[in-house]
Amino acid sequence: MNIISRWLFRNIPPADEAEFLVRRAASSGYGVFINPDFRRLINFAKQSEEEQNRIFNELVVTGICLLDLIVASKLNDVKHGRRHFWLDVREKIPDAFCGWINTLGMAGEFVDIWKKLIDLRVKEYLEGQNETREVWTREFKNHPDREVLTESAARVENITVGCMLHITRGKASKAADDPLRRHLRAWIIQLNNRLYERVGW
């Protein structure tokens, strides 16, 4: 983000930034949900309505979790004076999401379930990312940009595999060339890049 953009955005409250980022992440998950290729890969038409709703939920939560991990990873890189702002943004992500879906008419009991699911998945992905990072660190050990590559690669791969397993209830192939895994990875890479560029101004 250039200097002019930073100047224009400097007075945005953390809650507004969190809401903007949450909407971008959640909308991206919805885009995957309605994608014909994705639906073909998961045999969408043969799934019950309840299962279709669950898959939608997992995609949206995946986007929110990715956002949380990106903000967390960039906290040490932002200017000292902006770190508190981004800590506030990260803290407000679950509430921003729940507040948004509440305005869409979702019952309060379901909003609470969403909040618990986000918290559960974030913890799960944070734990998994440490293991994935070790693998990618070995893979990129001789690359000059290995620190950036391993962090980004670990985040993307961790989220990809986790999302795939949640969507399929653990029944998906873990093969790197699995079509569903490739499809989800392409989405997560794109969303990762879009969010990463925005976070940290």
Residue 153 included in any domain: yes
Half-sphere exposure of 127 (CA within 13 A, CB side): 7
Q: Is residue 5 part of a domain?
A: no
Q: What is the pLDDT of residue 100?
A: 85
Residue-level pLDDT at 13: 94
Residue 106 forms part of a structural domain: yes
pLDDT of residue 1: 56
Q: Is 112 part of a structural domain of the chain?
A: yes
Task: Give the model's confidence band at 78: pLDDT under 50 very low, under 70 low, under 90 confident, else very high.
Answer: confident
Instruction: Find the range with the poorest average confidence among 47-56, 138-147, 153-162.
Output: 138-147
Q: Is 30 helix (H, G, I), strand (E, B) or coil?
A: helix
Burial 71-87 (b: 16+ CB within 10 A, else e): bbbbeeebeeeeeebbe
High-pLDDT (> 70) share of the chain, %: 82
Confidence of residue 27 (pLDDT cuts 50, 70, 90): very high
Q: What is the mean pLDDT of residues 108-116?
A: 79
Provide the residue range defining the domain that includes 29: 12-198
The string of pLDDT tens digits covering residues 145-180 is 555 556 788 899 899 999 999 999 998 877 778 999
Q: Is residue 3 part of a domain?
A: no
Considering the domain boundaries, does residue 133 fall inside one? yes
Q: For position 8, what pLDDT does the model report?
A: 55
Q: What is the distance between the alpha carbons of residues 28 and 18, in angstroms, rounded to a whole number?
A: 15
Contacts of 13 (CB under 8 A, 6+ apart): none
The pLDDT of residue 5 is above 60: no
pLDDT for residue 94 is more than 80: yes
> For residue 50, is it within any domain?
yes
Asked if residue 7 belongs to a domain, the reply is no
From CA 181, how far away is CA 3, in angstroms rounded?
Answer: 38
Q: How far apart are the first and last CA of the chain?
A: 7
- Total domains in the chain come to 1
Residue 109 and residue 201: Cα distance in Å, rounded? Answer: 35
Tell me, yes or no, if the pTM score tops 0.75. Answer: yes
